[in-house]
């Protein structure tokens, strides 16, 4: 547990290296924006990189990922996710974001439609749009955080080619249950749709919950591309690493054609670090989740007690998505930056919608940091919200 004590946050290093978060804001601001832990990566990950640097051989990697990396992923997925899989069913990625782009490029033609949930991380819409296709939104009810499973059928047209699952869900923190996944897979089977299942958050689940991979639902395997990553669990977002699990051989062939290794190679340093993460950083990750659960409880309690806020307790992820009364997302974000000196992400609005129209009125707070930083940030946020 010692890795997650307050004194283990190295502000000097964060300001130096975290260009997208701590390095980006003036020093009086607490940034809770990027879903990227403030803690340093586990020792075995750092050691793998040091060892490789000492060896000094930086050759080209193999197309689709090196054998030892894919082997480690296959063992991990089989053992920890319950998807029985072999190394040749793994394809290395430069992060899940790249996997989403490649999946859409592989499966969608211009003019096709793909169903996403609203709100959801902007990467879904962006990837679908990049393939020339259109996003069709299925709203998640804010009051109950339930998916409109009945309404999904009405969204399907002859142009619909794919449904996109984000589980656990960013930004609502929902962990999808068996019957929700069953309904999504049934829809895909009934209408011959592909499924892109982004499971980058699958390790971060609370209260003894178990993440269920979409591909383990009966009759889902052949139509599913599952994406796993390293950024959220292992504090190595800047190493740009992830992998796809594709068990349908023809689909894997098509995915490889879209992403030839010489165009999108994954660097060997990241693969060595990722292998070390999967093989040796399991205990670090488990302790991280124990720490996150305490922070989740604290943030939820503080926000629940605050005036002018509606909030749900996340079941997974380390993001929380409160609704702020009487303000748009952008107004609330600007207000908290100015008044509380805390940076958060707006749920929706100009110039950029992070989570789609369903995110309007909300802000997203990331809490993968130390207890003392969160206490200070929540004091400031609650004080500012009380003034409204």
8-37 positions binding ligand PLP, by CB under 6 A:
35
For position 278 contacting ligand PLP by CB under 6 A, the verdict is no
Q: Contact with ligand PLP (CB under 6 A): which of 14, 85, 163, 166? A: 166
Q: Which is nearer to ligand PLP, 367 or 385 (CB)?
A: 367
Closest to 165 in 3D by CA, of 196, 187, 141, 191: 196
Where do the DSSP E strands lie in 140-207?
A: 160-166, 194-198
Helices 371-386 + 282-305 axis angle, to 10:
20
Q: Which range of residues in 15-23, 58-66, 94-102, 246-254 is near ligand PLP by CB under 6 A?
A: 94-102
Q: Which range of residues in 95-103, 127-135, 322-330, 339-347 is near ligand PLP by CB under 6 A?
A: 95-103
Closest to 27 in 3D by CA, of 15, 39, 17, 16: 15
Q: Which is nearer to ligand PLP, 100 or 385 (CB)?
A: 100
- Binding map of ligand PLP across residues 178-207, x = CB under 6 A, - = no contact: --------------------x-x-------
Dist. CA 67–CA 61, nearest whole Å: 10
Closest to 362 in 3D by CA, of 125, 173, 96, 146: 173
Q: Contact with ligand PLP (CB under 6 A): which of 170, 202, 214, 233? A: 170
Q: From residue 264, how far is each of 63, 67, 197, 267, 321 by CA, in Å?
A: 9, 17, 21, 9, 34
Tokens describing residue 264: 């999108």
Q: Which is nearer to ligand PLP, 124 or 194 (CB)?
A: 124
Q: Is 218 exposed, middle or buried (0-12, 13-18, 19+ CB in 10 A)?
A: exposed
For position 97 contacting ligand PLP by CB under 6 A, the verdict is yes
> What secondary structure does DSSP assign to 14-33, as a single string?
HHHH-TTTTTTS-TT-EE--
Whether 28 contacts 341, CB under 8 Å: yes
- Whether omega for the bond prior to residue 272 falls within 30 degrees of 0, making it cis, is no
Residue with tokens 């996403």: 116
Whether 308 contacts 358, CB under 8 Å: no
For position 167 contacting ligand PLP by CB under 6 A, the verdict is no
For position 231 contacting ligand PLP by CB under 6 A, the verdict is yes
Q: Which is nearer to ligand PLP, 118 or 121 (CB)?
A: 121
Q: Contact with ligand PLP (CB under 6 A): which of 38, 118, 121, 203? A: 121
For position 332 contacting ligand PLP by CB under 6 A, the verdict is no
349-378 positions binding ligand PLP, by CB under 6 A:
none
Minimum distance, C-beta of residue 158 to ligand PLP, in the bound complex (Å): 29
Q: Which range of residues in 93-101, 267-275, 338-346, 380-388 is near ligand PLP by CB under 6 A?
A: 93-101
For position 242 contacting ligand PLP by CB under 6 A, the verdict is yes
For position 95 contacting ligand PLP by CB under 6 A, the verdict is yes
Q: Contact with ligand PLP (CB under 6 A): which of 125, 229, 316, 361? A: 229
Give the residues lining the site for ligand PLP (CB under 6 A): 35, 95-97, 121, 123, 166, 170, 198, 200, 229, 231, 237, 242
């Amino acid at each position: 547990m010692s890795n997650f004590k307050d004194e283990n946050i190295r502000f000097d290093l964060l300001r130096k290296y975290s260009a997208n978060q701590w390095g980006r804001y003036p020093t009086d601001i607490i940034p809770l924006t990027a879903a990227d832990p403030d803690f340093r990566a586990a020792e075995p990950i750092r050691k793998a990189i040091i060892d490789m640097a000492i060896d000094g051989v930086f050759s080209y990697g193999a197309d689709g990922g090196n054998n030892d990396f894919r082997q480690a992923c296959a063992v991990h997925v089989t053992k920890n996710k319950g998807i029985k899989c072999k190394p040749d069913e793994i394809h290395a990625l430069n992060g899940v974001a790249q996997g989403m782009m490649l999946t859409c490029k592989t499966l969608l033609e211009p003019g096709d439609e793909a169903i996403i949930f609203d709100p959801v991380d902007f990467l879904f819409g962006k990837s679908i749009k990049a393939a020339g296709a259109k996003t069709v939104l299925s709203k998640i009810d804010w009051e109950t955080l339930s998916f409109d499973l009945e309404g999904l059928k009405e969204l399907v047209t002859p142009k619909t080619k794919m449904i996109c699952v984000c589980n656990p869900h960013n930004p609502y923190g929902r962990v999808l249950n068996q019957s929700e996944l069953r309904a999504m897979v049934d829809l895909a089977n009934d209408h011959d749709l592909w499924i892109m299942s982004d499971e980058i958050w699958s390790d971060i689940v609370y209260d003894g919950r178990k993440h269920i991979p979409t591909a383990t639902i009966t009759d889902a395997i052949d139509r599913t591309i599952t994406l796993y990553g390293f950024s959220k669990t292992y504090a190595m977002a800047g190493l740009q690493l992830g992998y796809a699990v594709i068990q349908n051989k023809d689909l894997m062939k098509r995915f490889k054609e879209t992403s030839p290794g010489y165009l999108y190679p994954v660097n060997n340093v990241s693969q060595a670090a990722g292998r070390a993460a999967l093989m040796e950083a399991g205990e670090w990750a488990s302790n991280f989740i124990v720490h996150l659960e305490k922070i989740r409880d604290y943030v939820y309690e503080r926000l629940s007690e605050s005036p002018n806020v509606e909030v749900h307790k996340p079941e997974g992820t380390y993001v929380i998505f409160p609704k702020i009364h009487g303000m748009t997302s952008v107004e609330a974000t600007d207000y908290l930056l100015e008044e509380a000196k805390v940076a958060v992400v707006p749920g929706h609005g100009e110039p950029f919608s992070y989570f789609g129209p369903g995110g309007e009125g909300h802000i997203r707070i990331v809490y993968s940091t130390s207890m003392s930083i969160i206490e200070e940030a929540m004091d400031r946020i609650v004080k500012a919200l009380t003034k409204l």
